[in-house]
Amino acid sequence: MRWDIFCKVIDNHGDLGVCWRLAAELAGRGESVRLWVDEPAALAFMAPRGAPRVEVLRWQEASAAHSPAQVVVEAFGCDPHEAYLVALAERTRREQRQPAWINLEYLSAEAWVERCHGLASPVLSGPAKGLTKKFFYPGFTPLTGGLIREQALATRQAAFDRAAWLRARSLPPEGERLISLFCYEPPVEPLLMQLARGEPTRLLVTEGRARAATGRAMRELDARQPGWNASGTLRTSFLPLMSQEQFDELLWTCDLNFVRGEDSLVRALWAGQPLVWQIYPQEDGVHRDKLDAFLDRLAAPPSLRAFHLAWNGFAPDLPPIDALSGWQRAAQAARARLLAQEDLVTQLMRMATGSCPRA
- Would residue 359 count as lying in a domain? no
Let me know whether 181 and 85 are in one domain: no
In this structure, are 34 and 57 located in the same domain?
yes
Radius of gyration of the chain (CA): 22
Output the average pLDDT for the chain: 94
Decide if 252 is inside a domain.
yes
Q: Are 146 and 344 in contact, with CB atoms under 8 Å apart? A: yes
Q: Of all helices (H) and strands (E), which one includes residue 165?
A: helix 162-168
Same domain, 96 and 241: no
Question: pLDDT tens digit string along 19-54?
Answer: 999 999 999 999 999 999 999 999 999 999 999 999
Nearest to 243 by CA among 205, 207, 279, 204: 207
pLDDT class for 64, splitting at 50, 70, 90? Answer: low
Q: How many domains, the chain?
A: 2
**Per-residue pLDDT, 357:** 38
In a domain? residue 103: yes
- Is residue 180 within 8 Å of 254, Cβ to Cβ? yes
97 falls within a domain: yes
CATH number at 333 reads 3.40.50
- Rounded CA separation 344/334 (Å): 16
- Asked if 184 and 100 sit in the same domain, the reply is no
Is the Cβ–Cβ distance between 29 and 11 less than 8 Å?
A: no
Strands (E), 137-291: 177-181, 201-205, 234-238, 256-260, 275-278
Q: Are 78 and 101 within 8 A, CB to CB?
A: no
Catalytic residue among 25, 189, 262, 263: 262
Domain shared by 63 and 200, yes or no? no
Reported confidence tier of residue 285, pLDDT bands at 50, 70, 90: confident
Tell whether 301 and 188 lie within a shared domain: yes
- pLDDT (tens digit per residue) in 234-257: 999 999 999 999 999 999 999 999
How far is residue 94 CA from its own chain's centroid? 38
CA distances from residue 191 to 13, 237, 246 in whole angstroms, order as listed: 25, 15, 25
Distances (CA, A) of 74 to 104, 177, 186, 293: 6, 41, 31, 25
Same domain, 83 and 104: yes
Q: Which of 15, 176, 263, 343 is catalytic?
A: 15
Calculate what percentage of the chain has a pLDDT beyond 90: 87
Q: What is the pLDDT of residue 172?
A: 86
- Whether 358 is covered by a domain: the verdict is no
pLDDT tier at 274 (50, 70, 90 boundaries)?
Answer: very high
Report whether pLDDT(63) > 70: no
Whether residues 41 and 179 fall in one domain: no
> Does residue 328 lie within any of the structural domains?
yes
Share of the chain above pLDDT 70, in %: 97
Q: Which of 77, 73, 87 lies closest to 36 in space, CA to CA?
A: 73
Q: How far, in Å, CA of 250 to CA of 247, rounded?
A: 5
User: Has residue 357 been placed in a domain?
Assistant: no
| Structural domain containing residue 129 | 2-146+342-352
* Residue 197 sits in the same domain as residue 132: no
Q: Write the pLDDT tens digit of every residue in 67-115.
A: 899 999 999 988 888 889 999 999 999 999 999 999 999 999 999 999 9
Is-catalytic flag, 248?
Answer: no
More confident residue, 204 or 66: 204
Query: Which amino acid is located at 259 in the chain?
Result: V
| 257 assigned to some structural domain | yes
Residue 183 shares a structural domain with residue 312: yes
Tell me what the mean pLDDT of segment 267-286 comes to. 91
Active-site residue 283, yes or no? no
Same domain, 219 and 105: no
Strands (E), the chain: 2-7, 32-37, 54-58, 71-75, 100-104, 120-122, 132-136, 177-181, 201-205, 234-238, 256-260, 275-278
* 333 and 346 share one domain: no
Q: Tell me the CA distances in angstroms from 297 to 105, 234, 333, one per residue in order.
A: 19, 32, 11
- pLDDT at position 33 is 98
Read out DSSP for 87-122?
HHHHHHHHHTSPPEEEEEPPP--STHHHHHTT-EEE
Lowest pLDDT segment from 22-26, 329-333, 350-354: 350-354
